[in-house]
Amino acid sequence: MATARRKLLKLSNSEAKQIEDEVAVDTPVEVYVENNHFITLWASPGMERELAVGHLLAEGIIDSSNEVEAMVQDSKVLIKLKTDRQLRLETSKVYRIIKTACGSETPGSLSLLDRLRKPRVASQLRVKPEAVLKIVSELNNRSRVFKATGGTHSAMLCTSEGEVLAYAEDVGRHNAIDKVIGQHALEHRTFSDCILISSGRQPNDMVLKAARVSIPMVVSQAAPLESGIKAAEETGVTLICFMRGKRMNIFTNPKRVLLDREHDNS
């Protein structure tokens, strides 16, 4: 169940009323890699396998879903690796500590893991602004749990024409992105022609999730942070934020957005 009903005392204009309302449900998902506990993610129920595989991909631990075998047991996801990723696993432990401390002494926006394999997105993707607006509208239409509870984030992968390839809604904005990346990868699809749409703000760790799997464009209704803009510049990602009505702000790599004058010349 993605939601639960809970009793509460609602105050309105000095009037108190006992009511029931829907709230979003979060549960722990324990991820084990080679029988060792790797991470516990608090997430919305469902898509646990996609979450675990997507997390390993989006955090730069693995390069392909073909590297792993994943099995779900209750709230645990057991990962077996077909390749040696011990160095990346060890580096990720240091990176998680730095992220929790809200800062890093390393120069630039990229993490320690990205020093092992610096992501750089090369793609011929070109998108019309009206297609981007249509995609954002579709994300809002699908965000049913958010409409009921106000307690979730959504993420979606689309083609430049607006075809939906993967969708997830989760209590965590990172989890929602991990889930759509995992779903798409487990279907043995590539990411170079995809657009990632997110409801959450965009710091560097959100942008890097896209860059590590070669997603060329990230679109968000929320704000970017300076670290997110720097990460997009360093990795070649097109970052579009503040989608409001027919307006959008293109912060990096605008060449992938087809402007009106380019329509006329095509």
For residues 151 and 24, is the Cβ–Cβ distance under 8 A?
yes
Q: What are the backbone angles phi and psi of residue 198, rounded to the nearest 5°? A: -135, 145
Q: How many helices (H) and strands (E) does the chain have?
A: 9, 12
pLDDT per residue rounded down to tens, the chain (266 residues): 789 999 999 998 889 999 999 999 999 999 999 999 999 999 999 999 999 999 999 999 999 999 999 999 988 999 999 999 988 888 887 656 545 434 444 445 676 666 556 788 989 999 999 999 999 999 999 999 999 999 999 999 999 999 999 999 999 999 999 999 999 999 999 999 999 999 999 999 999 999 999 999 999 999 999 999 999 999 999 999 988 778 899 999 999 999 876 554 44
E runs forming strands in the chain: 3-12, 15-24, 27-33, 36-43, 68-73, 76-81, 153-158, 164-170, 195-198, 217-220, 238-244, 247-252
Residue 116 has what pLDDT?
Answer: 59
* Residue 101: per-residue pLDDT: 39
14: left (phi over 0), alpha (psi -120 to 50) or beta: left
Q: Which of 72, 227, 266, 83 is nearest to 252 (CA)?
A: 227
**Cβ contacts of 158 within 8 Å, gap of 6 or more:** 135, 138, 164, 165, 194, 195, 197
Give the chain's end-to-end CA distance (angstroms, integer).
Answer: 48
Integer Cα distance of 5 and 96 in angstroms:
34
Burial of 15 (0-12, 13-18, 19+ CB in 10 A): exposed
- Report pLDDT for 245: 74
Flag whether the pTM goes above 0.85.
yes
CA 154 to the chain's CA centroid: 8
Tokens matching residue 259: 């402007």
Q: What is the pLDDT of residue 112?
A: 62
CB distance 168 to 155 below 8 Å: yes
Question: Tell me, what's the pLDDT at 202?
Answer: 95
Pairing of strands 27-33, 76-81: parallel
- The encoded tokens of residue 148 equal 């009921």
Domain ranges of the chain: 27-116, 129-265
Strand, helix or coil for residue 119: coil
For 176, how many CA atoms within 13 A lie in the half-sphere containing its CB? Answer: 26
Among 2.40.50.180, 3.40.140.10, 3.50.50.60, 3.60.10.10, what is the CATH number of 129-265?
A: 3.40.140.10
Give backbone dihedrals phi and psi of 68, rounded to 5 degrees, phi first. -125, 155
* Residue 172: count of CB within 10 angstroms of its CB: 18
At 98 the pLDDT is: 47
Choices 1.10.10.10, 3.40.50.300, 2.40.50.180, 3.10.20.10: CATH for 27-116 = 3.10.20.10
